[in-house]
């Protein structure tokens, strides 16, 4: 399948993490990568590595000036997952009959061609929420079973980098976004799961149906798994192209399903009835964590991982301290500590994991911008409570991009920057306690009070772990009456 690329130019559209991962595999199969990106800094970096670069403006101009099109030199365009299908370069490629793949599609064919060893089994995880936790759980179960494996994809490690590891993994736990799946029509996983589907990225996909259709590509392999408690995901079971489709629910499972009975995860899909784990052993606690554990169980049971290893892997999986760690459920409101989200990109992932968020943010932005973050997550914000040195910067961005969201800045008095104050621990804890009480006042059942600061902590706290502990202490001091008590 890849022979047509030998000795040919391939356009790498987007110099991000995925773009960088393409270069060596392209060279290994004898292709010549050419990089394009809208950012001058990105192109300069690629050029410094000795790569041929071209701007998207140059490509568009060449396409407009040439009667036969300006992209004819390229055998293939491999796009970053974030590039929309209506991007001019991609439209021009399609118009000229040049195939457009995503990096995941290319990785699939690299694996099928055995460029880096035997073909791996892909266990694919997608959904609007819970992808990373499910992927990590899946990897934990595989490790418990002694299966050489790696977690990769949208979770951070590009699939191509995982394939190039030595010794190589036998199984890939692959987190895939809707963007990645859109550009990967050939992927046929050994097992794939659609956890849930909520309105997200609709501007990119053009609507919920197209977004759900992209997610449904996880169900094109040998075994498809769907979350039955989510109506859209459940509806995809009828459209699944997998050879076999099973479901999971947080309730009593029917035949062909996984579920929960008397506090135990039960498999009735891959055996008559097998107990897999205790609900109390699942981390993170709560319905979302249990659903993710059921999904990971289904993926690994689909490749015959024994129940005892599912149990062991789920017991060993723990959410890291201050990394989207569940703190408490109070009157139906979940409190989550993601103090480790010390930049806007990390905060984005954290916020997007929850549909209704009271956002507790602030600290030292270190020059990072929050405009794009707030514009993207605005529809998920119930309210924002801000602390720390750059709280005014975040408040101004919220006023521009989410003017309907209530915002409270917690005044630290003369101690807005307490870095050199020997008593700052007590003062910082007091500010955090006030912020948590205000956040709880905005919350209603079904909401999440989320500490995802998007900023560093050293203006007020000793470090991000101190900030997380301060948040957790303040949360545990709350009472039922604090929920919904407007400030």
Cα→Cα distances 249→133, 184, 294, 332, 485, Å: 17, 28, 8, 20, 34
Domain termination site, one of 316, 349, 365: 316
Residues 167 and 25 in one domain: no
448 is in an annotated binding site: no
| Enclosing domain of residue 83 | 3-98
Q: Is 133 annotated as a binding residue?
A: yes
Which CATH number is 301's domain given?
Answer: 3.40.1190.10
Whether residue 200 has pLDDT greater than 70 = no
Kindly state the average pLDDT of the residues 17-41: 94
For the entire predicted model, the pTM comes to 0.72
Q: Which of 316, 347, 381 finishes a domain?
A: 316
Residue 379 lies in a domain: yes
Name the residue with higher pLDDT: 226 or 209: 226
Q: Report the first-to-last Cα separation within the chain, whole angstroms.
A: 62
Pair (333, 454) in one structural domain: yes
pLDDT of residue 426: 84
* Residues 288 and 261 reside in one and the same domain: yes
Q: Is 95 annotated as a binding residue?
A: no
Residues 391 and 277 in one domain: no
Residue 335 predicted with pLDDT over 90: yes
Q: Is 103 part of any domain?
A: no
Is residue 188 over pLDDT 90?
yes
**What is the C-alpha separation between 76 and 371, in angstroms, rounded?**
34
Residues 125 and 268 in one domain: yes
Coil, strand, or helix at residue 364? Answer: strand
104 part of a folded domain: no
DSSP 75: E
Q: Is 130 annotated as a binding residue?
A: yes
425 annotated ligand-binding residue: no
Q: How many domains does the structure of the chain reveal?
A: 3
**One domain for residues 349 and 433:** yes
CATH number at residue 334: 3.90.190.20
Q: Is 225 within 8 Å of 193 (Cβ atoms)?
A: yes
Residue 13's CATH number: 3.40.50.720
Q: Is the pLDDT of residue 469 over 50?
A: yes
- Same domain membership, residue 390 and residue 439: yes
User: Does 107 fall in a domain?
Assistant: no
**Tokens at residue 134, please?**
């499910």
User: Which of 279, 298, 316 delimits the end of a domain?
Assistant: 316
In this structure, the answer to whether residues 405 and 363 fall within a common structural domain is: yes
**220 — pLDDT class (breaks 50, 70, 90):** very high
129 has binding-site annotation: yes
Q: Is 128 annotated as a binding residue?
A: yes
9 and 137 co-located in one domain: no
Assess whether 337 and 477 both reside in one domain: yes
- Secondary structure class of 54 (helix, strand, coil): strand
| Residue 334 pLDDT | 94
* 3-class DSSP assignment, residue 144: helix
């Amino acid at each position: 399948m890849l022979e047509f690329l030998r000795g040919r130019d391939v356009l790498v559209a987007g110099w991000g993490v995925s773009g960088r991962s393409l270069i060596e595999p392209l060279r290994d199969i004898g292709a010549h990568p050419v990089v394009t990106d809208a950012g001058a800094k990105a192109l300069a970096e690629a050029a410094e590595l000795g790569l041929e670069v071209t701007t998207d403006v140059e490509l568009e101009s060449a396409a407009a000036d040439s009667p036969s099109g300006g992209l004819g030199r390229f055998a293939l365009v491999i796009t970053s997952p974030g590039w929309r299908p209506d991007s001019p370069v991609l439209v021009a490629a399609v118009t000229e009959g040049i195939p457009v793949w995503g990096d995941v599609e290319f990785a699939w064919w690299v694996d099928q061609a055995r460029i880096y060893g035997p073909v791996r089994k892909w266990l694919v995880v997608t959904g609007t929420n819970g992808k990373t936790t499910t992927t990590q759980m899946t990897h934990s179960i595989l490790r418990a079973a002694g299966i050489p494996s790696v977690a990769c994809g949208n979770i951070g490690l590009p699939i191509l980098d995982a394939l190039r590891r030595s010794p190589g993994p036998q199984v890939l736990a692959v987190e895939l976004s809707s963007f990645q799946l859109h550009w990967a029509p050939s992927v046929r996983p050994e097992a794939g799961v659609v956890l849930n589907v909520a309105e997200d990225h609709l501007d990119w996909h053009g609507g919920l149906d197209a977004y759900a259709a992209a997610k449904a590509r996880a169900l094109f392999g040998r075994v498809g798994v769907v979350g039955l408690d989510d109506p859209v995901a459940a509806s995809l079971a009828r459209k699944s192209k997998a050879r076999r489709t099973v479901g999971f629910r947080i309730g009593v499972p029917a035949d062909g399903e996984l579920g929960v009975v008397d506090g135990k995860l039960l498999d009735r899909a891959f055996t008559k009835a097998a107990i897999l784990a205790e609900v109390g052993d699942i981390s993170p606690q709560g319905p979302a964590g249990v659903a993710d554990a059921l999904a990971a169980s289904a993926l690994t049971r689909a490749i015959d991982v024994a129940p005892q290893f599912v149990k062991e892997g789920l017991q060993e999986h723990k959410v890291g301290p201050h990394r989207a760690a569940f703190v408490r459920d109070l009157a139906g409101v979940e409190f989550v500590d993601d103090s480790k989200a010390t930049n806007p990109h990390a905060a984005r992932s954290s916020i997007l994991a929850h549909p209704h968020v009271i956002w507790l943010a602030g600290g030292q932005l270190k020059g990072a911008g929050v405009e794009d973050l707030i514009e993207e997550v605005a529809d998920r914000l119930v309210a924002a409570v801000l602390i720390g040195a750059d709280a005014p910067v975040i408040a101004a961005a919220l006023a521009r991009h989410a003017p309907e969201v209530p915002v409270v800045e917690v005044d630290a008095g003369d101690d807005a920057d307490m870095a050199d104050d020997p008593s700052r621990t007590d003062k910082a804890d007091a500010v955090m306690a006030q912020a948590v009480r205000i956040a709880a006042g905005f919350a209603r059942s079904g909401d999440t009070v989320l500490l995802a600061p998007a900023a560093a902590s050293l203006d007020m706290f000793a470090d991000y772990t101190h900030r997380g502990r301060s948040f957790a202490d303040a949360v545990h001091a709350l009472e039922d009456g604090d929920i919904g008590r407007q400030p």
